[in-house]
Structure 1
Amino acid sequence: MPDVRDQGMQGEPPRIFQIHYEDWHRSVCDPRFIPLDNRGPATEYLEFDLFERLSISPHVQGAALWGALSWRFTEKTGLDGSELFDLIAAHPGHDVYFCNPHPQHEGIYHNLWVQGETAHPRFVELSRAFLVAAGLPGEAVDTIDPSNQYSTANYFVGTPAFWSAYLPFVRGAIRRADANLSAGDKAALHSTAADDRMVHKGCTYMPFIVERLFPLFLRTAGAHLSGFKLPLPIPEDEMNVHQKLLREMKDHACRDRSSWLAACWVNYRSLYLQQQHGRQWAQRYLRQVTPGEIRFA
């Protein structure tokens, strides 16, 4: 566990740890964060297990806000430690601060479950099975979700109220799913088939499902909590005009509950992704729906 004695901070700032796994990672960690060496045997739940360990450690006792971020946080978000602290200070009073380092995905997929299908075979099918077995709404994989609910990274800074609700929510879902899943689905979910391209060192499906439970938590067990999505100017500036227009169009459709506008978004989105990835890719991954089939989160 880290040394939290002198971080050059005044008052009661958020207590933010930065996870690293190699000696050279430490050299790129932000000095505003508390270094946290996480070497050792890893479980398939990765950061989530670390969150649970931190939550019962003395290192977060008395902290009004705390979180643990990847050593690649600045690389992925464009925010350094000072900017993150400034953003949180400028928007006080929320239970959890989060962000999505891939805003280019927010306007081109129905939701983060559908986006996961492009990286992990059978992801939507197995995620639905997990949600149903966990007693959570399986239809979450079918809805069109607004961008303010899009988050696929474990970049959270939260209050004790957030952590005391979120961690049991996720752990409870895992336990119920393991108890109720069929033997075949359980074996598949805990297999490395999720990482058939070996991009994530042979991870199972579970960490990718867990990180997508956060928006569902905010809509269900965490609905009483206040979440603030942090803006990320650098990734936003890297989006092209179609990605921005598609996100705006989808957000308007979700806000107005307009099936007609959502169907228009589906058509525009499909044309854009066919141009980007080709017809074969689009036929494999894109979900075509009629206005009567539109569901909103």
Structure 2
Amino acid sequence: MFAITLQRDTVDIGGNVGSLSIGELPNGIQTDSLTWVPLRAYTPQEGGLPPAPEAPNEIYPLVWEIPIDDVYFDDVKLPRSSLSPPSISLSALIDTGNSLIRGPQDVIAQIHSSLGGEDFDCGMPHNLTFQIGGKLFPVDPRDFIHQSFTDSVQQCTTALAVTDPPGDGFLYSWSLGDPFLKSALAAFHYGNLTHPSQDPPRIGLLSTIPTDAAERLRQAVSAAAEEGSGNFPATSQPAPSGTFVATGAGVGGVPQATHVPPDLNGSEPSSTNGAVYTAWSGAAWSPIWGTLGISILSFFCLVL
């Protein structure tokens, strides 16, 4: 198995430490604190892999695709898309190689309609939530928005895009990319690759959104508006290797990124738009990932 968290690199920089843990969960995270859901399996008739002669009754998954109970926007349950047959159960691809959240065209259009259009007030928090395994997994409102215009944080757009309807090939309706994965720890368990019925492959999720996320968005918008540039801060840093111990933990004990203190001369370290976030690692400060490398993790997330 492997587990990931992504760090927020704009609007309100910080949140989860960007990390990739291979072979185990991060320190302090317990298996039973995650919500585990099985992957969708595809029969050969649906384009799936043929079973081996020694395991003729096995059905294999193709991608990291999990069932979804329902989807909510601002606490109102969204209707199922009318663009795919009702016989196809609702599911989502969990995809680190996707910088957005992608969904059915008619459902995305309904979300934009409820906002009064694709541009809306940046300082008004909105709640896009996926119910998975009986639990609610919201997208942090700070990750739901993108600044619409340079030098202005008055208007924002959603981190949403349209995906192809299921029915011809893959059967998922949603693709949950970075905005979702900055709001949750995700663990990918391979299980038994040859006999998945004995140890089913699955994904475990742990929501990491703080209870005051909406207020933190308002504060971030207010701070950006008061600055001379009128832009949200943004940063991008190379990923370090090795292990570290964070100075603090957030929801569920997930390590959190913290601000670099002034150096010994009393000056702030160099940064992009004045923001650099790191985690303490014994005797040295190490830069933390803004987002994980897509080229590496796409391999893990797109094929078993």
TM range (shorter): under 0.3
TM-score by length of 2: 0.24
Q: Which has the higher contact order (CA 8 A, sep 6+)?
A: 2
TM-score by length of 1: 0.24
Higher strand share: 2
Higher helix share: 1
